[in-house]
Structure 1
Amino acid sequence: MVVAVALMVQVPAAAYPPQVLVFVANTGSDNVTVYDTRLGEVIATVGVGDGPVGVGATPNGDLVYVTNEQSDSVSVLDTRTQIVAATIPVGDQPFGVAATGAYAYVSNFGSDSVTVIDIATQKPVAEIPVGRFPHTPIASPDGSRVYVTNNGAASVTVIDTRINKPVGTIPVGRFPAGITIGARGDRIYVANTGDDTVTVAGATSGRPNATIPVGDAPMGLSVTPRDVVYVANAGADTISVINFPNAGTTSTSPVNRRPEGAAAAPDNSFVYITNTASNTMSVIDTATAKQIALVPVGQQPEGVTVTG
């Protein structure tokens, strides 16, 4: 049975390490919801810029970057205090963001580029040309590569973070949106909104090696430490769950209306799905791949990230 709650979700406190937080970008209310995974409750709502859509945490979990699509800026949140520590101008219509230990990479949907922000100074230091309508970036576990989906080019641009330049392009499906990478860094997974599939590609080879059918209009996706991929099917109000290496064990579960974002806890306990049309976040138990609770968040939640 699914339980709707105002703030509290009963989850095992011992399942989480200290200070693992979930950050949700609420596009319609210009703020970020902060959810404490130990307590199972919302602990803060932080105002940011206009139209926040993407969120990404630094590897150490100290900072979260929030893209403000309508104000062409990025808000930097201190995760310990839940306050905005800096606001940084970037390109046109920033959408997604990913961070390494040294830089944050912001995909500018309206200017076909990626802005590179120096984490030490919180200043832009480079602008990297990529494909048409860059949507979402993801960093490799070792921070050596960043992969960016190009929504208007059916491709992924590969960026070498040592030189901050493109070094390759991976062909994927139509209108690629969300992207994630396995814990070993050997495979990337891309949600193709235009053809209802997920492309699996070798992170080093840059070659697609599988195309997996999922639900209608897949948007966000995430992968657990055990290599299980969760896909938010925005047009079907479901999630697809793909078990690797045997992708034939794909299953489907219902969530709330228009799921768009997905993020997995670092301890393989839960996956968090933002439901844009119902102003909620689904909590998915990875043991059953089922929704166990709904958490009210802000208006039109889209991007989501988990620290830790």
Structure 2
Amino acid sequence: MALLVVLALLPLAALPAAAYPPRVQVFVANTDSDNVTVYDTRLGEVTATVPVGDGPVGVGSTPDGDLVYITNERANSVSVIDALSHEVVATVPVGAHPYGVDATATHAYVTNYDSDTVTVIDVATQQPVGEIPVGRAPHTPVVSPDGTLVYVTNNDDSSVSVIDATTNSVINTIPVGRFPAGIALGPGGHRLYVANTGDNSVTVISAPGEPVVTVPVGKAPIGLSVTPQDVVYVANTGDDAVSVIHGDSAAVSATVPVEQRPEGVAASPDARFVYVTNNAANTLSVIDTSSASPVATIPVGQGPEGVAMTP
């Protein structure tokens, strides 16, 4: 049985912000206020609110953290933010209802939920250079550490498409649970984790030949993130909690209460904290990974969904 952790929230100033290096920032897409909140972990405060397109939902960044990509689901576009200046430097047209985004140093990959495609954006020119057909209602992409593969959850197909990034073609389709949404890779890309919103589970896919494992979690899991220690944090939007899974055991070790309707999850580069967007509370919860407990709540914009950190 999972451990339910209930602790009083500490004030924001209690976070050891000085332990962070400069320029570690959290970017939150606020779907209902058409902007992005930027929270500086070292300063322990919100440093910018960036206007973007209509209905921002997904967040991803280049590996160096210089550029942040925001999908605007109601504008069929992607806003590109300079992480240092906090200015939008490009707006890129993509497919219908763009949702998730992930990037390498050379390309960004955007899932178009209503087009059943993935748009490929050239990072150097900020222009679309490819459109890849995948399954029905693609939700979230994740790129392998070496940049050669892109994994995409197909919400209406209960599957994951595997894209060869050198040819921009689908080379495999993996069955998972019902209505897969969030997806993440473990350290070194050796494990793939998929949040299945429709059957309250996370699918764990390891090396070829190893069994696929299904881990029961909370209600309607949607977003997830993995630390360098292979600990998975899963936002259960149906019961206002985050499940903690240790990859080696493939079992829930703790359940952390957050605020209403958690959706996006991002782990800090040093794995000390995990940041969770609470869509119905207009807040960002901060979880201390050492105690598996919430330690702060940060006000953001309206309807926060996607979240990502720049290294």
Percent of paired sites with the same residue? 64
Counterpart-to-counterpart distance in 2, 1:63 and 1:177: 24
Q: Mean Cα displacement is larger for which, 241-250 or 89-98?
A: 241-250
The answer (yes or no) to whether the contact 1:242–1:251 under 8 Å persists in 2 is yes
Q: Does 1:205 align with 2:208?
A: yes
Match of 1:276 in 2: 279
Q: Does 1:252 align with 2:255?
A: yes
Match of 1:294 in 2: 297
Counterpart-to-counterpart distance in 1, 2:13 and 2:96: 38
Match of 1:98 in 2: 102
Q: Which runs of 5+ in 2 are unaligned?
A: 1-6
Question: In structure 2, the residue corresponding to 1:250 is in which secondary structure?
Answer: strand
Match of 2:60 in 1: 56
TM-score in terms of structure 1 length: 0.96
Match of 2:288 in 1: 285
Q: CA deviation at 1:9?
A: 4.1
Q: Which runs of 5+ in 1 are unaligned?
A: none
Q: CA deviation at 1:17?
A: 2.2
Q: Mean Cα displacement is larger for which, 59-68 or 15-24?
A: 15-24
Q: Mean Cα displacement is larger for which, 262-271 or 243-252?
A: 243-252
Counterpart-to-counterpart distance in 2, 1:9 and 1:151: 39
Match of 1:180 in 2: 184
Q: CA deviation at 1:207?
A: 7.0
Match of 1:40 in 2: 44
The answer (yes or no) to whether the contact 1:148–1:157 under 8 Å persists in 2 is yes
Q: Does 1:228 align with 2:234?
A: no
Counterpart-to-counterpart distance in 2, 1:229 and 1:177: 15
Q: CA deviation at 1:15?
A: 2.7
Letter in 2 for 1:275: N
Q: CA deviation at 1:183?
A: 1.8
Q: CA deviation at 1:206?
A: 8.7
The answer (yes or no) to whether the contact 1:191–1:220 under 8 Å persists in 2 is yes
Question: In structure 1, the residue corresponding to 2:239 is in which secondary structure?
Answer: coil
Q: What root-mean-square deviation, in Å, do the aligned CA atoms of Structure 1 and Structure 2 show?
A: 1.4
- Residues 139-218 of structure 1 correspond to what in structure 2 (within 5 A)? 139-202=143-206, 205=208, 209-218=212-221
Q: Does 1:23 align with 2:33?
A: no
Counterpart-to-counterpart distance in 1, 2:82 and 2:179: 33
Distance of aligned partners of 1:246 and 1:113 in 2 relative to their CA distance in 1, 3 Å threshold = same
TM-score in terms of structure 2 length: 0.95
Letter in 2 for 1:192: N
Q: CA deviation at 1:14?
A: 3.9
Q: Mean Cα displacement is larger for which, 171-180 or 10-19?
A: 10-19
Letter in 2 for 1:116: V
Question: In structure 2, the residue corresponding to 1:235 is in which secondary structure?
Answer: coil
Match of 2:4 in 1: none
Match of 2:269 in 1: 266
Match of 2:3 in 1: none
Letter in 1 for 2:159: S
Distance of aligned partners of 1:174 and 1:40 in 2 relative to their CA distance in 1, 3 Å threshold = same
The answer (yes or no) to whether the contact 2:213–2:250 under 8 Å persists in 1 is no
Q: CA deviation at 1:237?
A: 0.4
Question: In structure 2, the residue corresponding to 1:184 is in which secondary structure?
Answer: helix
Question: In structure 2, the residue corresponding to 1:153 is in which secondary structure?
Answer: coil
Q: CA deviation at 1:243?
A: 1.2
Q: CA deviation at 1:249?
A: 4.9
Question: In structure 1, the residue corresponding to 2:53 is in which secondary structure?
Answer: coil
Distance of aligned partners of 1:199 and 1:71 in 2 relative to their CA distance in 1, 3 Å threshold = same
Counterpart-to-counterpart distance in 1, 2:15 and 2:223: 24
Runs of 4+ in structure 1 displaced over 3 angstroms?
1-5
Q: CA deviation at 1:184?
A: 1.2
Q: Does 1:304 align with 2:307?
A: yes
Counterpart-to-counterpart distance in 2, 1:14 and 1:281: 20
Letter in 1 for 2:291: T
Q: CA deviation at 1:247?
A: 2.4
The answer (yes or no) to whether the contact 1:172–1:208 under 8 Å persists in 2 is no
Q: CA deviation at 1:196?
A: 0.0
Counterpart-to-counterpart distance in 1, 2:125 and 2:199: 41
Question: In structure 2, the residue corresponding to 1:106 is in which secondary structure?
Answer: strand
Distance of aligned partners of 1:249 and 1:217 in 2 relative to their CA distance in 1, 3 Å threshold = closer
Would you say how many aligned residue pairs link Structure 1 and Structure 2? 305
Counterpart-to-counterpart distance in 2, 1:207 and 1:88: 40
The answer (yes or no) to whether the contact 1:9–1:295 under 8 Å persists in 2 is no
